[in-house]
């Protein structure tokens, strides 16, 4: 059986990955596979900059809007879904800024098992103290993982600490973490504008999300159980709007904090992807060859 050809388009949020992915997919006759963890959720459209059907130029897109907002994200579950899709294609363009999801889809990468007792104890601690103390513990145990995981992302912090506890090794040092070997014939394209340009794009994107109705989107999702979603409720923008709707801050403060948090997150994404030696980087999305080569 022939190995699927893949072009992976990666980089920080607001870098311009989606437009590059569309151009490459058109040139190669490929289909697009989403590797953005938050775009996997149904109804989370405005706040994740999910392309509308019209914006997709008639190109099939996979793994968009497959999870309910109450469902906890699982990279292992995503890996199985992504491999099933990619294996059925001749050419795929995998696009997203969620580094672990990209690697889960494309690399020889195995996820450690779980221990219900260890997980329950960590989740109880998370509920009692919040994510900050756990993130500090992770920083001491595994600085590399701590740099890649947002201090507010309690679910991923718990998972990293669970793996450390079970294996006695850093989460970032598990099999496959420090080696880069794709299971497909993969070309890696990275988009990384200068930070000042990226920050301007992030601010403009957040302003546009507000104009397009992010607050109304979050309000509707709240009625569908968004606050009960361990993963979705902590997504950038959604977490801040939920705080505004709960009366914990003013709307202007929620917007400003979304911009600040997104800028911080973009830098973490940059750090994650920069460790991968296979990625060819471009400062401007317009410089990427149409066929991704």
pLDDT value at residue 73: 87
From 60, 100, 106, select the one nearest 83 (Cα to Cα): 106
In order along its 293 residues, the chain shows pLDDT tens digits of 467 999 999 999 999 999 999 999 999 999 999 999 999 999 999 999 999 999 999 999 999 999 999 998 888 899 999 999 999 999 999 999 999 899 999 998 777 777 778 888 988 899 889 999 999 999 999 998 888 787 888 888 998 898 888 888 888 777 666 788 999 999 999 999 999 999 999 999 999 999 999 999 999 999 999 999 988 999 999 999 999 999 999 999 999 999 999 999 999 999 889 999 999 999 999 999 998 87
Distance CA 23, CA 57 (A): 10
Distance CA 190, CA 97 (A): 10
pLDDT value at residue 1: 46
Q: Residues with Cβ < 8 Å from 144, sequence gap 6 or more?
A: 170, 172
Catalogue all structural domains in the chain, each as residue range(s) with its CATH number: 5-111+181-194+277-287 (3.40.50.300), 116-173 (1.10.20.140), 196-266 (1.10.287.890)
Q: Which two tokens stand for residue 190?
A: 């990275």
Q: Residues with Cβ < 8 Å from 21, sequence gap 6 or more?
A: 9, 32, 93, 95
Distance CA 255, CA 32 (A): 31
């Amino acid at each position: 059986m022939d190995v699927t050809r893949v072009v992976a388009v990666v980089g920080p949020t607001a870098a311009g990955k989606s437009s590059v992915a569309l151009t490459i997919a058109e040139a190669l006759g490929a289909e697009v596979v989403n590797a953005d963890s938050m775009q996997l959720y149904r109804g989370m459209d405005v706040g994740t900059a999910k392309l509308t059907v019209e914006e997709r130029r008639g190109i099939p897109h996979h793994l968009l809007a497959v999870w309910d907002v109450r469902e906890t994200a699982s990279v292992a579950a995503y890996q199985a879904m992504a491999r099933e899709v990619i294996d059925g294609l001749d050419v795929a363009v995998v696009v997203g800024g969620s580094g672990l999801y990209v690697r889960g889809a494309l690399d020889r990468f195995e996820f450690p098992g779980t221990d219900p007792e260890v997980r329950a104890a960590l989740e109880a601690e998370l509920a009692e103290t919040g994510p900050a103390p756990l993130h500090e513990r992770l920083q001491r145990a595994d600085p590399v993982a701590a740099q890649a995981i947002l201090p507010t992302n309690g679910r991923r912090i718990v998972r990293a600490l669970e793996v450390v506890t079970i294996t006695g090794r850093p989460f970032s040092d598990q099999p496959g973490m420090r080696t880069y070997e794709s299971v497909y014939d993969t070309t890696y394209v990275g988009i990384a504008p200068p930070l000042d340009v990226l920050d301007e794009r992030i601010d403009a994107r957040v302003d546009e999300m507000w104009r397009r109705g992010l607050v109304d989107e979050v309000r509707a999702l709240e009625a569908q159980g968004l606050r009960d979603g361990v993963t979705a409720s902590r997504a950038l923008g959604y977490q801040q709007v939920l705080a505004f709707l709960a009366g914990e801050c003013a709307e202007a403060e929620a917007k400003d904090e979304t911009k600040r948090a997104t800028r911080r997150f973009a830098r973490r994404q940059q750090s994650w992807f920069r460790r991968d030696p296979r990625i060819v980087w471009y400062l401007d999305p317009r410089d990427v060859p149409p066929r991704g080569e």
